A and B are shown apart, each in its own frame.
Chain A
C-alpha cells in the first residue's frame, strides 16, 4: 500500500495570507490526524477527523481548521497567517486494528 502523502511538501507564504494543506491517508484508513511541529513547542496535536467528522481538537486558535472528505482525504486550513505558524505540519492516518498512526513526510510552511 502507498503511504500517507502530503502536498505540497514546501510552502512559503506571507503574514496575513491563508494556506491549505492536503493529506491523503493510507488506503482503507478512515481516521486522519494533524500535528504541528516547531522547534520551540515540539509536536502538538491539532485535530483528528473520522468519517468526515472532527472527533478531537487540540488547543489551537480558530484560525486553524480542517475537514475530511468522503474518500478520507483531509485538508487543513490556516487563515490570517502569523510568523509563529511557520512549522512542519504532519498528517497521520490511523490503522484502527493495529492502534497505530502512520505519518506522512509533512508540509514545511514558512511564513515571511
Chain B
C-alpha cells in the first residue's frame, strides 16, 4: 500500500523568503511522485513530477523538489516566495506503472506575508 504524509497543514512565509513544503511517502514499489497546486475554486495543476532519472526535479513557477530514496522524502522548495504562490499544495504518489491511481497527502496551505 502507498501513503503520503505532508508535514504541516499550514505554512506561512514572508514574500521573498524560502518556501519549503515537506512530503514523505511510503511505497512498497518504486514510486512516481508528484506535486500539485490548487488555487481557490480550481482544479489541481501539476507543478512537477519524479519518475526516473535525475533526483532533483525542476517544475513550473520556480519550484523544485528532490527525491531522496533513503529518507523516503520528496520535499518541495522555492528560493523566493511570491504573493501569487499562496495556494494549497498536494504531494501525491503512484505506482510506477502508469500513474493511474494517485494517493494524495492531506495538503499544505501556503500563506505569503507581504
Contacts and interface: CB of A to CB of B under 8 A. Distances in A.
B100 A33 contact: yes
A79 interface: no
B55 to A, nearest CB: 17
Interface in B45-75: 45-46, 49, 51
Contacts of B103: 45
Interface residues of A, number: 25
B46 A56 contact: no
Interface of A: 4, 31, 33, 35, 42-45, 48, 50, 55-56, 58, 90, 92, 94, 96, 99-106
9 tightest A-B CB contacts, nearest first: A103-B43, A43-B104, A103-B44, A99-B99, A105-B43, A42-B106, A56-B101, A48-B100, A45-B101
